[in-house]
Amino acid sequence: MVESGRLLGKCVCLNFDEYPVSNVQANLYNIPMSDNSASGHSANIVKAIRNGFVAAFDHLGFVFISTFATFLLAVGVFALSLFAVYKLGLRIPAYLIYIPSIAVAWLMAVGVFYYANKAVFAIDAAASDLLEGIKKLFIPAILLLLLDGFITVVVFSDKLADAQYFWRNVAGLPGALLPVINMLALFFKILWLMMLLYHLPLLPAQLNMKSGPNPLVILKKSYLLMADNPGFTVVLFVVIIAFAVICALPMRVGFATVFLGAAAFILTHALRELFIKYGVVEEEKEVVEELPWRLPD
Residue 42 located in a structural domain: yes
Q: Which domain holds residue 26?
A: 6-277
Q: How many domains does the chain have?
A: 1
Residue 192 located in a structural domain: yes
Q: Is 205 exposed, middle or buried (0-12, 13-18, 19+ CB in 10 A)?
A: buried
Residue 284 located in a structural domain: no
The string of pLDDT tens digits covering residues 282-292 is: 777 655 455 56
Any idea how long the chain is?
297
Coil, helix or strand for 9?
coil
Determine contact, residues 270/48, Cβ cutoff 8 Å. yes
Helix 99-120 to helix 129-156 angle, to the nearest 10 degrees? 120
The string of pLDDT tens digits covering residues 242-271 is: 999 999 887 788 889 999 999 999 999 999
Residue 238 located in a structural domain: yes
Residue 152 located in a structural domain: yes
Among the listed residues 115, 116, 107, the one whose alpha carbon sits nearest the alpha carbon of residue 135:
107
The string of pLDDT tens digits covering residues 6-58 is: 333 333 445 555 444 333 333 333 444 444 444 556 889 999 999 999 999 99
- Say which residue, 171 or 42, is predicted with more confidence: 42
Lowest model confidence (mean pLDDT) among 39-48, 56-65, 121-130, 176-185: 176-185
Reported pTM? 0.80
pLDDT-derived band at 156 (thresholds 50, 70, 90) equals confident
Residue 290 located in a structural domain: no
Residue 287 located in a structural domain: no
Residue 283 located in a structural domain: no
